[in-house]
Structure 1
């Protein structure tokens, strides 16, 4: 059986291994994690959080930071122990081994892929609104959505390092704009408003956790989204020479950078005007009925120039995020297919690499078609964000369980952290994540949980079909060997 399985993993795909040139370091991990997180959709979630909860949103942000810090430890541990481009698929396959590992890994990998289809839809819609504001309202939004998807997918066709450099340049611009707006709010640069602490506390109950506008009920899902996605850098572990050092450093430094940036931008901008006035502007035409609050913030601070600058920031943030996504997500499909476990006869096609560039062009094309199809179906940014967040939180629990199981054996190989830290972090992280999921979506579990079940159900069905093809091919090869 092991010989047949080996044949499926190598002979079924006539292509050289993907990447593995060991050219990335801590900085690249930081860029990959932060560039995906510092997105146009986080501008939407951050400003909606601040303009709704004011200073209380800081508490929600800290809670979201801690939940994602727990995740970063588990993700860094897994990527250090199993430095493969398939990320969560490879983790499960290595930990459980055998046929069960193949099925669980394929299911988790496809669940992650499906979840990011929601993410890409919300993110692209947020960036497309900014691009539409820059170029003009006469063109339909879906035109901008498709255009941004094309621009983001191209760097991934040419290679990992190229995509990383594109994302690095966009990241500097994205972070720069957020800091400029935040510091301008605090110090009164370029606008007629004065920053006042009373503005961010306008009608706010600081420690209201469970009320109608409570931190848990309203702020936690938005705050969680402010950090989600930093673990995407784990898919690059195969290209990192020392993942036990670079992965933890890159992920943790990235989360800290995101937290500080969100605090500076959000508090700086929110404090220049009472929350009640912000709410009216954001829910009006200027803020696209809450779908693009960053545009309203730009208009208030710097007039028309600020409006267009925030629109530009939204567009570039989306490009940076999608560039990382198109470099990471197709690698999950490629890795599963390279092992011969993705829809049987289709595995060789999906796993095919470009003959000169060595990039998974067919997996990139499948990812592109899937993301575009979902994104053009509806342009509701906030709804897509919350739908993706629900599935993502469930996947976080999966990361913790995998990290716990991988280090349960006292004699297991050392990873990025001490065994006791990994086990304790996985337990506390899982509990905190479950509690966060429950409270963040009270009243909406049927809606967003239903969408999560659709993603998980499709992933399960595809994993089961792939498993059937795999077992059937193993049986056929076994018969051929016996016939010889």
Structure 2
């Protein structure tokens, strides 16, 4: 979720055009998340070495959405990203649904899960501290809400550094476990039944696996700030996703060689178990530092960016006008900040402490819906504007889009190996997305007074003389990819 911090990066990019390194840091920033650390270990505990199958398949699905976002962002180089592409392709209702599904609803579930994890980690490390339940979670949420109301972004300058640090943390844990004196040989692990105990049922772990690859598209809103967008936007996503795949694979293999599979699957804080097994008591401090940094950075990024996304939608008439309100003193979109803080805190009150897996799976389901809409956008715009200049064209079109839609629909349908857990995920995600859909329909018909599915015209929204427009024009020096 740290990839949500794009507004601050964009502001810096206006002064210093963003190169591949900066965009790559945004694309891999999602690893600064406790959710990834937890879900990956629980999944490898369920499936053993067989987890590499859904992990690799979801990596391919992630590449498919990277292709689609690359094509759309360079064809329609607007900071609005998904909502801008969707309203041009298939209309206002899918645009609003995709934006809420892929970002606002995801933040509601994922940020709550991050805060729950932080609360549990601190309680685990300092069990003697007399703190009321969820006091850490609500305290951190309150602190960063106030900071963002004051328009103070204390993590903006550290985002790239934090993303790199968390990659190092995961790789250090993985390689240290692989070389640990108590690590099992891989052959013995396979002989003990940790090969693929779920059989074909391992594919039902795709939603857990996909959580490690969502969010690389947050480089796309930076298209107007990129130095060489036609080259660096696609490369940042593709290279970033590949780095993440290798990192997660090493991290999971190390845990599986050192810790019994059943313990990983059943432990609510498997990353705590992993860190203390590898580094002993010092692993507590190691993990506490990483957890606090990751959660605070993620929360701060979301509260800095998503309210501005809501404010922009309100400016376009796609959300309630109150979201346009900014503080005269600080410039912060205070109504939007309070709204995002409220929807983040609500699941903390309604969900049990063991609902982390449920929240993260519901978030992944919502994000997959947004990705399916993205693939549909590419298919529709290819048909409607076949001669439009596209600096990036999806390799082997339309197979990545068709495979992406089919694979993501399969992952949504098989959201959990447990029928009971799947029902809970569908209920939670479906209720929120259903409410969003009803409000969107009423808003478009009664307030915007527009058809639900009539596409908006494809018109440029950036200056013809802007660097991004010059960079994306076809020429002898800049052929279409």
TM-score, length-normalised on structure 2?
A: 0.80
Greater percentage in helix: 1
Answer yes or no: is the 8 Å Cα contact 1:37–1:229 preserved in 2.
Answer: no
Distance of 1:158 and 1:31 partners within structure 2: 26
Give 1:7's aligned residue.
none
Answer yes or no: is the 8 Å Cα contact 2:65–2:404 preserved in 1.
Answer: yes
Equivalences for residues 320-359 of structure 1 within 5 A = 320-343=297-320, 347=321, 349-353=322-326
Q: Deviations over 1:385-405 (max 9, x none)?
A: 112222222222111111221
Aligned-pair distance for 1:123? 2.2
Give 1:127's aligned residue.
118
Distance change in 2, residues 1:133/1:457 (3 Å): same
Distance of 2:72 and 2:428 partners within structure 1: 28
Aligned-partner SS, 1:271: helix
Aligned-pair distance for 1:359? 5.2
Distance of 2:150 and 2:400 partners within structure 1: 38
Distance change in 2, residues 1:197/1:419 (3 Å): closer
1:194 equivalent to 2:180? Answer no
The structure 1 residue matched to 2:68, chosen from 61, 70, 74, is 74
Distance of 1:255 and 1:272 partners within structure 2: 26
The structure 1 residue matched to 2:35, chosen from 32, 35, 41, is 41
Give 1:148's aligned residue.
140
Give 1:371's aligned residue.
344
Distance of 1:337 and 1:238 partners within structure 2: 21
1:362 equivalent to 2:335? Answer yes
Answer yes or no: is the 8 Å Cα contact 2:28–2:216 preserved in 1.
Answer: yes
1:389 equivalent to 2:389? Answer no
1:418 equivalent to 2:379? Answer no
The structure 2 residue matched to 1:311, chosen from 288, 292, 306, is 288
TM-score, length-normalised on structure 1?
A: 0.80
Give 1:11's aligned residue.
none
Distance of 1:425 and 1:222 partners within structure 2: 21
Answer yes or no: is the 8 Å Cα contact 2:71–2:378 preserved in 1.
Answer: yes
Give 2:223's aligned residue.
237
Distance change in 2, residues 1:154/1:73 (3 Å): farther
Aligned-pair distance for 1:162? 6.8
Aligned-pair distance for 1:436? 2.7
Answer yes or no: is the 8 Å Cα contact 1:353–1:361 preserved in 2.
Answer: yes
1:91 equivalent to 2:85? Answer yes
Answer yes or no: is the 8 Å Cα contact 2:155–2:297 preserved in 1.
Answer: no
Aligned-pair distance for 1:415? 3.1
Give 1:4's aligned residue.
none
Aligned-pair distance for 1:135? 4.6
Give 2:454's aligned residue.
none
The structure 1 residue matched to 2:163, chosen from 163, 167, 171, is 171
Aligned-partner SS, 1:139: coil
Distance of 1:381 and 1:405 partners within structure 2: 37
Aligned-pair distance for 1:238? 4.2
Give 1:21's aligned residue.
14
Distance of 1:413 and 1:157 partners within structure 2: 42
Distance of 1:234 and 1:265 partners within structure 2: 28
Distance change in 2, residues 1:256/1:158 (3 Å): farther
Answer yes or no: is the 8 Å Cα contact 2:32–2:162 preserved in 1.
Answer: no
Distance of 2:59 and 2:318 partners within structure 1: 35
Aligned-pair distance for 1:328? 3.5
Q: CA RMSD in A?
A: 3.1
Give 1:108's aligned residue.
98
Structure 1 residues not aligned, in runs of 5+: 1-17, 284-289, 474-484
Structure 2 residues not aligned, in runs of 5+: 1-9, 451-481
